Copies of this chain bind each other. A is one copy, B any other.
Amino acid sequence: MEKKLAVVALGGNALLRGYQIGTIKEQEKNAEDTLRNLMFLLKGGYDLIISHGNGPQVGNILMRNDAGEQVYNIAQMPLDVCVADSQGGIGYMLERVLRNLLNQYKIDREIVTLVTIVEVDIEDEAFKNPRKRVGKIYTKKEADKLTADKGWMFKEEIKEKLSGWRRVVPSPVPKRVLNSHVIESMARQGTIVIAVGGGGVPVYFDKHGNLQSAEAVIDKDSASSVLASKIGADEFYVLTDVPFVYLNYKKENQETKEFLNYSDTKKYLEQRMFGEGSMAPKIKSCLNFIEKGGSMAVITEATKLDNKNYGTKITKEYTK
């Protein structure tokens, strides 16, 4: 029998917690706590692909670009290059931490980290209505100047301590993970592949068939789901900051769901019973995966993956 193939998407929380300032030591410790959870998959003989978010990291890279121009007049890099930078830095850190865990658990597997490009559709509605907030908070005057100079779009951001204007970029639907064939081939040979970091670097094909960079970001769960379906993965894990999926989260009638089937989940989603900006997109990614033939999607807390008492298991039909 062919070995099972799992795609595990690490959330931002798996690398950087909200209350932390983001030193490399903090990120390494979080990565280790999270990746240690994956050992049971490897011990179970799974082939494994790991993807990861990059929200806090690419936010920092964008702000360093801004600061670098201010202080040293260094040319800023566009968003696609910043996303690619973050794939390099985070991917390397994950690979090194994972290599040490494999050494500790005496598991003999190769690990490679791929810089991953993901195709989007330039006609995607998201390009007409950018919504994803990235980078620093600007004053109205600064924001107006950047709109004039670079065509950036802004939305007002109201926070406790700091309010102002924040750049918004499109978050289009991922169509295709480039190199999915290579990723699949390596993973099926037993190599652990770290890929699709930050949802991938977004590009589109122009009418001449040339790849152009898109000033956008892609949801990493969505891109990971596209990859998982394309390569026929068996299981899809979404690691986040809650141990279960809840209906009516944080409301009086909150209900924990440990098992969900496809049709009920779809119904709850349509009834908007999952958090719109947070849990709903994860649920959608899981449903897409099940719809295209995946056998199980799991949403759980980053450090609770190997504890079977936690985690919401989504399958086509109820298994329990």
Q: Residues of A with Cβ closer than 8 Å to B?
A: 21-24, 60-61, 63-68, 70-72, 74-75, 77-78, 80-82, 84-89, 91-93, 95-96, 99-100, 103-104, 110-115, 117, 136, 179, 181-182, 186, 191, 194, 201, 203, 208-211, 213
Contacts and interface: CB of A to CB of B under 8 A. Distances in A.
A115 B115 contact: yes
B77 A68 contact: no
B81 A92 contact: yes
Copies in the complex: 2
Contacts of A100: 210-211
A21 B73 CA distance: 9
B84 A74 contact: no
A99 B211 contact: yes
Given A85-B85, A88-B115, A179-B110, A68 B64 contact: yes
A74 B60 contact: yes
A103 B209 contact: yes
Contacts of A85: 61, 85-86, 88-89
Q: In the complex, which of the residues A61, A203, A208 has the most CB atoms of chain B within 10 Å of its own CB atom?
A: A61
Shortest Cβ-Cβ A-B pairs, 7 listed: A88-B88, A64-B68, A84-B92, A67-B67, A113-B115, A67-B71, A64-B64
Contacts of A203: 96
8 contacts: A63-B71, A68-B68, A88-B88, A88-B91, A96-B211, A96-B213, A112-B114, A113-B115
A91 B115 contact: yes
B88 A22 contact: no
A21 B117 CA distance: 26
A79 B38 CA distance: 28
B92 A80 contact: yes
Contacts of A63: 68, 71-72, 74
Contacts of A21: 75
Contacts of A179: 110-112
Given A67-B64, A88-B91, A182 B112 contact: yes
Nearest to A23: B75
Given A81-B93, A93-B81, A117-B96, A75 B24 contact: yes
A215 to B, nearest CB: 11
